[in-house]
Chains A and B, each alone.
Chain A
Amino acid sequence: MSHIRRGFGQHEGVGTRILTVEDDERIRTAVKMALEDEGWQVDEADNGEHALELFTATPADVVLIDIMLPGIDGFEVCRAIRRASDVPIVMVTARADTHDVVAGLEAGADDYLTKPFAPKELSARIRALLRRARTHDPAGTHLAFGELEIVPDEGSVLRNGEEVHLTKTEFRLLVELASSPGRVFSREVLLERVWGYGYFGDGRLVDVHIRRLRTKIEPDPANPRHVVTVRGLGYKLQT
């Protein structure tokens, strides 16, 4: 697969392409119609192989992947897309099993939804992801600690002078923690600030993303020095 990295400079709404990967034709059609009502352009794929072909041909701005797919499953599709792109990915699951949710997030998804969701809820999640994707915060603090350097106006993180490829969600998470180094952020706060969730957000979103962030920026992810857990309270950034 070719490595495609593209910016997400499009305006919300018109021109925003959403790729939905769903094997159930009725669900696919209904969700497509509901999303089109929101003004988005929707590409459909009924299996993993088709989805990867479509994404390679015309990269989408947001990808919606159902976990249960014939052939290569949703996790694998997610990993394949993630290897090539940091496009926001929402996993859709018909099972609220801990295993499915965590596995989906581990595979690189930014967020997840459990069927049956209201398409308006999906739209809200997509908007939050697109906002995150576009966020280049020129007012953000340029922060350097240890071998790491955060350049908010470029939306990039340097480690020993080399760029680290973070997804937009991971980047937002790091910037949020870096906004006040040393302060403890609870999962709830991070869910609200990064994902736009209220009370019912799932703390596992934060935990899995923190884990992934560590594998990218920590010299020893098992013994993190920068993004540390404060037991019972949340996470904080140590400079």
Chain B
Amino acid sequence: MRRFTRLQPLGLRARLTLSFALGALLLSVLLSLLTWNLTRESLLRQREDSSIERVLANALTLRRSLGGTSDVASLLASLPTPTGAELALLAGGTWDARNPVEFAQSDVPAELFNQVAAGDVATVRTAVGDTVYQITGVPLPTVGAQYFEAVSLTDISQALDGLTISLLGASAVTTVAGGLVGFWASRRVLEPLRNVGLAAEAIAGGQLDTRLASGDDRDLDPLVASFNDMASALEERIERDTRFASEVSHELRSPLMTVAASMEVLENSRDQLGERGQTALDLMGADLERFRQLVEDLLEISRVDVGAVTLHLAPVQATELVVQAVGATGRGSVPVRYGLDVGNAVVLVDKVRFFRAIDNLLANATNYAGGATGVEVSLHRDGDGDEWVRIAVEDGGSGVPPEERDVIFDRFSRGREGGNRGADSGTGLGLALVAEHIRLHRGRVWVEDRPDGASGARFMVELPALHAEGEADGDVGYLGEDYGLDEVTGETPAVTAIPAADAEPGERQPATSEGRSGR
């Protein structure tokens, strides 16, 4: 399945908020436009209605008076008009305005002249300079004249401007309010989803009995119910798998027990066997051990698979841990090197599983590369400033070709010599278990070339460092701190420091398992 990702995909919440805001904006703009237009129309009609009566009355007065006095100017001045109104009389081609500067014949649009000439009372709105006027024309056919009155509409346009600002403000407020409602609503809507997410996280983290509380929301109840059903099915299945592994474990271990005990009885009377019998006994013993290891590894890996592994984590000083782990494998002298910088680094480990991981790495070196040549502990700081303890297990074999570096940690992967097992005594699960165990510790494993250029492989284990320097005095277990290392006898692996500018050679002597038998 392909997934298309947009450049900047918005979250559901942002999209909901945006939709609400846009909806509010659209609605408020629509309503504003409607309001503005209705107001404008009603204001103008009102103005028109109020002025037309007056204009007609004035025209009547003019028609009556024009016969007598011929002083048009005083006649115009005598007519009642509201402030800002201009009057003019066009008689016999002569334009007589009460205020000729403000109201010229050219200010009147031609279409009004035409309409009035046709004998109609007409009104137009037109701009004269910066001001909008409503001009009404009345034909006075009996006296052969036309009367024009212009009323300024400035007050109306000012009122409309004010309305525009109010409506814009209201729209903005509505938009913001819409966005806020969207934000709040999306939180309400997403809250159950967030709970689902938290529950899923808890289940993934191993709390298999996590369930969602069913609310009284009938829209959400199906989701809650199906989520809980899924969680129950998962829990049941994991329980069944665990039970199965446990039963398989019992069924496999019991016959092995009989064989192991019988082997020892045979071993005790070894002298009574002939040479061929003794060789057969040795072969059986070696493969019994391999079979036992295989069963252990299979059971352990299936426990990892069904998530039935409980880590008994304890904070331990990294160098101490590695030195002890190498010593505990009893694989003879493998030098452990570390610089002073790693001295106080602490890792959180399940001691038994970590020891097994180191044992498996050393066993891998023994089986495929003639034994490990050295183990190195170092501190690594990544780009985020997080500190990691790196443990490198080096061997002097032929190395691991790049194309096999990923698959080498797969189960039953045996690299190039897959078909040719020779005297290989591995189970094929050792490195896979290392990877699983280290992954459980939130670390990672990989294999690389030796940095010194020599032939051989360098298996790397990286674990998160727990404390910064100086904090290690607190709650940290020092494995074997009380063992009295002065009593250690027997073979002691060499401990050398990685050459570093300010590094002093590590002082802690590793104890070997042989050396510890004194107690």
In this complex, what residue of B is CB-closest to A100? B246
The CA-CA distance from A176 to B475 in the complex, in Å, is 23
Q: How many residues of B contact A (CB 8 A)?
A: 41
Report the minimum CB–CB distance from A103 to chain B (whole Å): 14
Q: Does B101 contact A (CB under 8 A)?
A: no
The CA-CA distance from A71 to B258 in the complex, in Å, is 22
In this complex, what residue of A is CB-closest to B291? A116
The CA-CA distance from A138 to B119 in the complex, in Å, is 143
22 A-B pairs, CB-CB below 8 angstroms?
A27-B258, A30-B257, A30-B258, A33-B265, A34-B264, A34-B268, A94-B250, A96-B249, A96-B299, A114-B253, A116-B257, A116-B260, A116-B292, A117-B257, A117-B260, A120-B264, A186-B481, A188-B479, A188-B480, A193-B519, A199-B328, A232-B475
Q: Does B259 contact A (CB under 8 A)?
A: yes
8 further A-B contacts with Cβ under 8 Å, apart from A30-B261, A188-B480, are A30-B265, A34-B265, A96-B249, A116-B253, A186-B479, A193-B519, A196-B519, A200-B328
In this complex, what residue of B is CB-closest to A113? B257
Category for how many chain A residues contact B: 35 or more
Contact of A27 among B254, B292, B310 (CB under 8 A): B254
The CA-CA distance from A15 to B476 in the complex, in Å, is 46
Contact A97 B246 (CB under 8 A): yes
The CA-CA distance from A24 to B256 in the complex, in Å, is 12
Q: Does A220 contact B (CB under 8 A)?
A: no
Contact B253 A199 (CB under 8 A): no
Contact A232 B355 (CB under 8 A): no
Report the minimum CB–CB distance from A86 to chain B (whole Å): 24
Among A120, A203, A233, find the residue whose CB has the most chain B CB atoms closer than 10 A.
Answer: A233
Contact A119 B477 (CB under 8 A): no
Q: Does A198 contact B (CB under 8 A)?
A: yes
Nearest 3 Cβ contacts at the A-B interface: A30-B261, A232-B475, A116-B256
Contacts of A188 in B (CB 8 A): 479-480, 482-483
Contacts of B260 in A (CB 8 A): 116-119
Report the minimum CB–CB distance from B238 to chain A (whole Å): 14
In this complex, what residue of B is CB-closest to A204? B312
The CA-CA distance from A231 to B261 in the complex, in Å, is 40
Contacts of B257 in A (CB 8 A): 24, 27, 30-31, 94, 115-117
Report the minimum CB–CB distance from A232 to chain B (whole Å): 4
Contact of B264 among A37, A189, A200 (CB under 8 A): A37
Bitwise, A148-190 to B at CB < 8 A (1) or not (0) is 0000000000000000000000000000000000000110110
**Assuming the A-B contacts A189-B483, A232-B476, are A118 and B328 also in contact, with contact meaning beta carbons closer than 8 angstroms in the complex?**
no
Contact A186 B477 (CB under 8 A): yes
The CA-CA distance from A97 to B250 in the complex, in Å, is 11
Among B255, B257, B314, B480, find the residue whose CB has the most chain A CB atoms closer than 10 A.
Answer: B257
| Chain B 256-287 interface residues, beta-carbon cutoff 8 Å to A | 256-262, 264-265, 268
Q: Does B324 contact A (CB under 8 A)?
A: yes
Q: Does A205 contact B (CB under 8 A)?
A: no
The CA-CA distance from A186 to B314 in the complex, in Å, is 12
| Chain A 50-100 interface residues, beta-carbon cutoff 8 Å to B | 68, 94-98
Among B250, B253, B355, B479, find the residue whose CB has the most chain A CB atoms closer than 10 A.
Answer: B253
In this complex, what residue of B is CB-closest to A199? B328
Report the minimum CB–CB distance from B252 to chain A (whole Å): 9
Contact A115 B513 (CB under 8 A): no
For the complex, would chain B's binding face be called helix, strand, loop or mixed by DSSP majority? helix
Bitwise, B348-367 to A at CB < 8 A (1) or not (0) is 00011001000000000000
Interface residues of A (CB under 8 A from B): 24, 26-27, 30-31, 33-34, 37, 68, 94-98, 114-120, 185-186, 188-189, 192-193, 196, 198-200, 202-203, 231-234
Contact B254 A33 (CB under 8 A): no
Contacts of A98 in B (CB 8 A): 310
The CA-CA distance from A93 to B467 in the complex, in Å, is 38
Among B246, B250, B264, find the residue whose CB has the most chain A CB atoms closer than 10 A.
Answer: B264
Q: Does B315 contact A (CB under 8 A)?
A: yes
**Assuming the A-B contacts A198-B516, A203-B312, are A24 and B265 also in contact, with contact meaning beta carbons closer than 8 angstroms in the complex?**
no
The CA-CA distance from A119 to B264 in the complex, in Å, is 7
Contact B268 A37 (CB under 8 A): yes
Contact A95 B258 (CB under 8 A): no
Contact of A37 among B265, B299, B476 (CB under 8 A): B265
Report the minimum CB–CB distance from A169 to chain B (whole Å): 17
| Chain B 312-364 interface residues, beta-carbon cutoff 8 Å to A | 312, 314-315, 324, 327-328, 351-352, 355
Contacts of B249 in A (CB 8 A): 94-96
Contact of B256 among A31, A68, A115, A203 (CB under 8 A): A115
In this complex, what residue of B is CB-closest to A122? B261
The CA-CA distance from A107 to B444 in the complex, in Å, is 40
| Chain B 123-145 interface residues, beta-carbon cutoff 8 Å to A | none
Contact A198 B328 (CB under 8 A): yes
The CA-CA distance from A116 to B255 in the complex, in Å, is 8
Contacts of B474 in A (CB 8 A): 232
Report the minimum CB–CB distance from B479 to chain A (whole Å): 6
Contact of A192 among B264, B327, B519 (CB under 8 A): B519
**Assuming the A-B contacts A198-B328, A233-B477, are A115 and B253 also in contact, with contact meaning beta carbons closer than 8 angstroms in the complex?**
yes
Contacts of B351 in A (CB 8 A): 199
In this complex, what residue of A is CB-closest to B519? A192
The CA-CA distance from A114 to B258 in the complex, in Å, is 13
Contacts of B312 in A (CB 8 A): 203
Report the minimum CB–CB distance from B393 to chain A (whole Å): 18
Contact B258 A24 (CB under 8 A): yes
Contact A68 B261 (CB under 8 A): no
The CA-CA distance from A200 to B262 in the complex, in Å, is 25
The CA-CA distance from A95 to B474 in the complex, in Å, is 36
Contacts of A97 in B (CB 8 A): 246
Contact A68 B250 (CB under 8 A): yes
Contact A94 B254 (CB under 8 A): yes
**Assuming the A-B contacts A26-B258, A115-B256, are A199 and B264 also in contact, with contact meaning beta carbons closer than 8 angstroms in the complex?**
no
The CA-CA distance from A31 to B327 in the complex, in Å, is 31
In this complex, what residue of B is CB-closest to A68? B250
Report the minimum CB–CB distance from A88 to chain B (whole Å): 20
Contact B475 A231 (CB under 8 A): yes
Contacts of B258 in A (CB 8 A): 24, 26-27, 30
Contact A95 B246 (CB under 8 A): yes
The CA-CA distance from A117 to B288 in the complex, in Å, is 12
Contacts of A186 in B (CB 8 A): 477-482
Contact of B261 among A34, A114, A198 (CB under 8 A): A34
Bitwise, B443-487 to A at CB < 8 A (1) or not (0) is 000000000000000000000000000000011111111110000
Contact A185 B482 (CB under 8 A): yes
In this complex, what residue of A is CB-closest to B255? A26
Contacts of B324 in A (CB 8 A): 199
